[in-house]
Amino acid sequence: MRRMNKRTLWTDSLTVDGIEAEVTYKDIKNIRLRVLPPDGRVRVSAPYRTPAENVERFVISQRDWIVQARAKARLMAPAREPLTDGGRALLWGEWHEVRLEEGRRVSARVDGRTIRLSAADEGERRQALENLYRAEIQSAVPALHDRWAAITGRAASTFRYRRMTSRWGSCQPATGAISLNIALAERRPELLEYVLVHELTHLWERGHGPAFYARMDAALPDWRRRRGQLKGPL
């Protein structure tokens, strides 16, 4: 076995109970585990000199959580059809035809049920589509926020828009800042509305306790249906 010190990271791999995991030994106190999107890879961090059987037991103990986290990672991953001329891409819950155009700028625009992309390669097309999603979310949020801030009695101080790997939204109750996943532009508009109301409600209630659910029920009675659709496939 390789000699290790506090400046050395030693990476190993293991397969236990049908689960493949990458294990990194480092200067920490407890074993930690993550499931990485979009493919659900399992990554374990363990303290130096942790016996392999201890790591295996830990992975087995987390099997149910790993299965759930992998399912969530798949659903959160963006639709990855190739962005070719005549292909398709999702926008607000509907497939749109993709048309490629020549141009010097990397850009994307919506033309009815068509998304027109100007980009040199797949990577640039994907970035153009991400920029379009961000612009669509930014355009939709102000009116929704004005409506729901009045209903919930809480308003965001600022919004941030980014691609998240494990959440649809988050908030900082101390500052009133709300972050929204630009992947919501792939889903129906009512699901963006649900996430916004959810985060505004967290400006009242930090956790998911009875008071939080009572406020959600009062503001958006069908929020559970929308949450279920958000967890479902595209």
Whichever domain contains 160, its CATH number is 3.30.2010.10
- Judge whether 192 and 174 are in contact, CB under 8 Å: no
Tokens of 105: 């700028």
Arithmetic mean of pLDDT, 83-96: 95
* Angle between helices 189-202 and 122-152 in degrees, nearest 10: 60
Residue 2 lies inside a defined structural domain of this protein = no
Q: Which 8-state DSSP code applies to residue 145?
A: H
| 113 shares its domain with 199 | yes
Give the Cα separation of 128 and 195 in Å (integer). Answer: 24
| 175 shares its domain with 210 | yes
Task: Name the range with the highest mean pLDDT among 50-59, 98-107, 194-203.
Answer: 194-203
Tell me what pLDDT residue 170 has.
Answer: 94
| 116 shares its domain with 225 | yes
| 67 shares its domain with 120 | no
Give the Cα separation of 49 and 109 in Å (integer). Answer: 54
Residue 5 lies inside a defined structural domain of this protein = no
Tell me what pLDDT residue 75 has.
Answer: 59
Q: What average pLDDT does the structure give for the chain?
A: 89
Give the domain range for residue 40.
10-76
What are 174-188's pLDDT values in tens digits? 999 999 999 999 999
> What pLDDT band is residue 79 in, cutting at 50, 70 and 90?
low
Tell me what pLDDT residue 26 has.
Answer: 86
| 35 shares its domain with 142 | no
- Judge whether 160 and 177 are in contact, CB under 8 Å: yes
How many domains, the chain?
A: 2
Tell me what pLDDT residue 36 has.
Answer: 83
Asked if residue 64 has pLDDT above 80, the reply is: yes
Give the Cα separation of 27 and 2 in Å (integer). Answer: 16
Residue 221 lies inside a defined structural domain of this protein = yes
CA-wise closest residue to 201 among 155, 232, 138, 147: 155
| 54 shares its domain with 104 | no
Arithmetic mean of pLDDT, 136-153: 97
